[in-house]
Structure 1
Amino acid sequence: MQVIGLCRFSYPAIGGFQVEHETIEERIAYLYDAERMEERFRLLETIALPCLREQTDQDFTLIVVTGDSLPRGDRDRLHDLTADMPQVQIRAEPPRRHREVMKEILNSARRDPDQPCLQFRHDDDDAVSVDFVERLRAAAGDCQGLLSKNRSVAFDFNRGYLAEAGAEGICAAEGVFPYVVPALGMHVRGGCPLTIMNFAHHKINRFMPTVTVTDAPMFVRTRNRFNDSRDMAGGPALEPLTPELAGAFEARFAIREDRVKDVFGSG
């Protein structure tokens, strides 16, 4: 079954942001501010990409959507960071209505729309476990009866870590966070045009059956200076990683704390 992931990398959509701007020009200026872009690239390099690069099931597609106005230097840097990942397809799009363009991109990525597929979103500052694609595919296999009776079914791997990354390393706290973006997948029946972008992630259980899996940490969700989501405020107190937990972050999410320190401590 085809597995398709969607990552928005500073795409200047019309709508789709909780931080509002009066004009699309203001949004572009905000998104491509040099200080903001440097942080996004550091998070992409150390948090978001390594876990996908080391997936135990490599049979997936990741579409990275950015703006056609992304500065050339940033565009080249994005291509360089993903050059060794054959799963990655970079799409540069002009500003359009957020959900409209994302739904179109996901549906155009389906090799055979008459066949079912699995979809997931992947924020550029979050990580999933290195076995996420494998487990998502297995979970769908375990629920064939449910899938056959519904146009779409969501799979919520809801145990993970809230974390912050910086020059001093990583602070984190484990918890159960229902229906957040990372490690939330969706099965779409063959012939159905629905996509995971048809739904707000925190409301997806209002529109379809959902299967919850809570047995192991499956994601790292970061807090940083440029988080758009309002629900990132507050939350559990974060503590520096112990040596044991640092080892677990590397084994489970391919996040290497020494690399985080190096990247965030440079420049």
Structure 2
Amino acid sequence: MTELQIIGLTRFAYPGLGGFQSGHETVEARVAALWAPERLEARLRSLEHVTLRTLAAQEDADFRLLVVTGEALPQPWLGRLEKLVAALPQAELVRHPSMNQRHAMEETVNARLDPDGPPAMQFRMDDDDGVGRRFIARARELFGQVRPLWERHRRLCLDFNRGYGLALTPEGPLIEPQMRACLGVAQALFLDPSIRRTCVHFPHHKLPSLMPVLSMTDAPMWLRGIDAWNDSRPDAARLRPPTDEERRDLERRFGLELEKIRSSFPGSTRGS
């Protein structure tokens, strides 16, 4: 098995400046937006049932996930977040002071990388995104096949192009099958471990101009969360209920527990 230092990065309502398309001039303005109770409730649901669930289902469990939030995230949200993160053995909750997003992630990731160790694989996931159960395993396998290219450039991107737009609703999931290049989800960056820049320093849509990119289109590998608070404003008009085959794909390929998601909404009468 190819030896790698694999680190995933999820920012949960981290109120640092920069790093988002929606601009806020002050930390206070960003806190007001990110820590709105309705938003936190929705993102805790997606973090539990999509992000952490799909990582818990990985066939290759040899990775780390850093969940970064603000050091002043209030209760009850902090306690709920701590409980969710503690349930995934590979996950670590990092409470970081508010500062520039990229600088904060650089401090967080590099403190946990051995600069003299094996190649680093980094991936980012928003707190409403998910990946296929074979994401880590396939990324490791494919890196072994193209390692000579990485040895030449010391940086390489593996980009899975297919997946689903996904919205969680009390009536069940809504989806849209998509093929998108360099979306930023299910995207592995292989970097020399001495490089201090992290996966958030390289804009995902500009990666083909920054390093070699290997695109894989053979199977769906990502779930892109869609809700009222998306920074990138995806088009939700094409979302629809999944077919029976697509429901099976969500459950088997990604490990989602659709009835548990449904029952997580207030007023649900359906069991898990």
Same topology, TM > 0.5: yes
| Runs of 5+ consecutive residues of structure 1 not aligned to the other structure | none
Match of 2:79 among 76, 89, 105: 76
Q: What amino acid maps onto 2:168 in structure 1?
A: A
Distance 1:107 1:239, change over 3 A: same
TM-superposed deviation, 1:92? 0.5
Pairing of 1:124-163 with structure 2 (within 5 A): 124-163=127-166
**Which residue of 2 is the match for residue 252 of structure 1?**
253
How far is the alpha carbon of 1:251 from its aligned partner? 0.6
1:243 correspondence with 2:231: no
What is the CA–CA distance in structure 1 between the aligned matches of 2:5 and 2:267, rounded to whole Å?
A: 39
* From 98, 114, 135, the counterpart of 1:111: 114
Change (3 A) 1:77 1:266: farther
Where does residue 222 of structure 2 map in the other structure? 219
C-alpha offsets along residues 14-59 of structure 1, whole Å, 9 cap, x if unaligned? 1122222232112112211111111111111111111001110000
Q: Read off the aligned partner of 2:42 and give its amino acid letter.
A: E
Task: Give the length in aligned residue pairs.
Answer: 265
Aligned position for 2:235? 233
The Cα shift of 1:114 comes to 4.2
Distance 1:22 1:143 in 2: 43
Q: Tell me the SS of whatever aligns to 1:224.
A: coil
Distance 2:169 2:236 in 1: 18
Alpha-carbon RMSD across the aligned residues, in angstroms, is 1.5
Contact 2:10 2:124 in 1 (8 A): yes
4+ long deviations beyond 4 Å: none
Question: Which residue of the other structure, out of 44, 48, 55, is the alignment partner of 1:45?
Answer: 48
**Partners in 2 of 1:227 and 1:5 — Cα distance?**
20
Residue-by-residue CA offset, 1:172-197 (whole Å, 9 max, x unaligned): 12121111121011101243333212
**What SS class does the counterpart of residue 206 from structure 2 fall into?**
helix
In 1, Cα distance between equivalents of 2:82 and 2:107 = 22
d(CA) in 1 for partners of 2:153, 2:198: 14
Aligned partners of 1:54, 1:266: CA distance in 2, in Å? 28
Asked if 2 retains the 8 angstrom alpha-carbon contact of 1:123 and 1:181, the reply is: no
Q: Is the 8 A contact 1:113 1:192 kept in 2?
A: no
SS of residue matched to 1:253: coil
- Unaligned residue ranges in structure 2 (runs of 5+): none
CA drift of 1:264 comes to 2.5
Structure 2 residue 80 is matched with structure 1 residue 90: no
Higher helix share: 1
8 Å contact from structure 1 (residues 150, 189) kept in 2: no
Which whole-Å CA distance do the structure 1 matches of 2:267 and 2:19 have between them?
A: 32
Could you tell me whether the CA contact under 8 Å between 2:67 and 2:93 is conserved in 1?
yes
Partners in 1 of 2:69 and 2:13 — Cα distance? 6
* Alpha-carbon shift at residue 265 of structure 1 (Å): 4.1
Corresponding position of 1:3? 6
Identity of counterpart residues, as a percentage? 37
1:151-230 maps to which residues of 2 (within 5 A)? Answer: 151-230=154-233
Paired amino acid for 1:147: W
Partner of 1:264: 265
TM-score (norm 1): 0.94
Q: Kindly indicate whether the alpha-carbon contact (under 8 Å) linking 1:166 and 1:265 is maintained by their aligned counterparts in 2.
A: no
Change in Cα spacing, 1:76 to 1:152, as seen in structure 2 (3 Å) is same
2:65 pairs with 1:56: no
